[in-house]
Amino acid sequence: MVQPVDLVNSVQHPAVVTLEQHHSLPADIVVGNMHRMPVDMLGDLPSPDTGTAEDPSPTVGSPDIASDRIDARWWSKGTGSNGMPAGVPMPTAKDAEFYNMDHRRRGKAFVFNHMNFDPRLQLRPRNGTNCDRDNLRINLRQLDFEVEVYDDLPFKEIERILESASMEDHSDADCILVTVLSHGELGILYASDQPYKPDRLWSHFSADKCRTLAGKPKMFFIQACQGDQLDHGVNMTRTETDAGAASYKIPNHADFLIAYSTIPGFYSWRNTTAGSWFVQAFCHVIQREAHSRDLLSIMTRVCRKVAFDFQSNVPGDYVMHEKKQIPCVTSMLTRDIQFTRK
């Protein structure tokens, strides 16, 4: 089997991630046709007791003077820009509670759907994923997105499309949304021809690289396994006790929302006819509450639906039978997202 390849230049000091050698096939679980998959284990951070180093904080002061410090053992100036370029229009007032969703366009939505893979990867076809693709296309169009759907693309094509999108003018758009439906492992997604790190999806859209999306929501939804652990669940029983400043500066990585179908280290389930649990739940809630609730509230309800309404049904396999799943949502949003009608 071809082992996952780290496509990003890794930092050699300190070394954090170690990819274990595995012999089983990586794939997200398929209901009715299941197999285990490997998981990439994270190595331990270097011991803080090894060696001595001066305070790496860029701000040096006496203990009696209050100053901001960085929580890191090593510090460097890095490669990022020194700040937002001058002249970037503010899409939303500094203290606004909601993102401005009143631009002329909602924005673009990209759906990267993967069912078949290069035989060298030894990955099984993801039967049922086309149902997810079609449901997402319908629901995102109903939210006024300009939806672009791609099937079984190699990684270079995915990166070319996203890099090109980051260079477009989004001044008249509310936001951008990207969805990936594929096989995965911990810290790895699969294009049709090779593995890649998930951050390659959103790295082009930071505020310093895509100025016309600065201060606007950038949403990423990923349906893929993140490991080979199974969630056995726990039975619950009822008990009796139960306008602002003229201008402002933002971090380059603000205003992102990244939603995974499962938590790190665990399988993600997909029905071969109805599609994945995560996309089924997402489309169900979006259809009913997209215009009445903010997106994080919607994602809470998606998590609840996946957690309570879905359970694996594999009576012939005791190990895989009656297992559960919970999505994982990471938010760097600074306001609420509500899809107001166009």
* Residue 183 appears among annotated catalytic residues: yes
Find the mean pLDDT for residues 236-261: 78
Kindly tell me the sign of the dihedral angle through the C-alpha atoms of 19, 16, 186, 121: negative
pLDDT score for 161: 98
Containing 285, the helix (H) or strand (E) segment is helix 277-289
pTM for this prediction:
0.78
% of the chain at pLDDT higher than 90? 67
Q: Which tokens go with 89? A: 């229009």
- Report in angstroms the alpha-carbon separations of 159 from 121, 163, 165, 166, 187: 19, 6, 10, 10, 17
What's the rounded Cα separation, in Å, for the pair 255 and 202?
11
Per-residue confidence at 320, pLDDT binned at 50, 70, 90?
very high
Verify whether residue 22 is a known catalytic residue.
no
pLDDT tens sequence across 193-225: 999 999 999 999 999 999 999 999 999 999 999
Among 131, 225, 283, 303, which one carries the catalytic annotation?
225
Q: What number is the average pLDDT over the span 126-151?
A: 98
So what's the pLDDT on residue 50? 43
DSSP string, 72-136: -SS----SS-SSPPTTPPPSS-TT-SB----SSB--EEEEEE-----GGG-----TTHHHHHHHH
Residue 278 has pLDDT above 80, yes or no: yes
Among 131, 170, 175, 183, the active-site one is 183
Q: What is the pLDDT of residues 185-199, one digit of tens each?
A: 999 999 999 999 999
Q: Give pLDDT tens digits for 85-122.
A: 555 778 988 899 999 999 999 999 999 999 999 999 99
Q: How far apart are CA 217 and CA 335, in angstroms?
A: 9
Query: Terminus-to-terminus CA distance in the chain, angstroms?
Result: 49
Q: Pick the residue with more confidence: 273 or 241?
A: 273
Question: What average pLDDT does the segment 146-174 reach?
Answer: 98
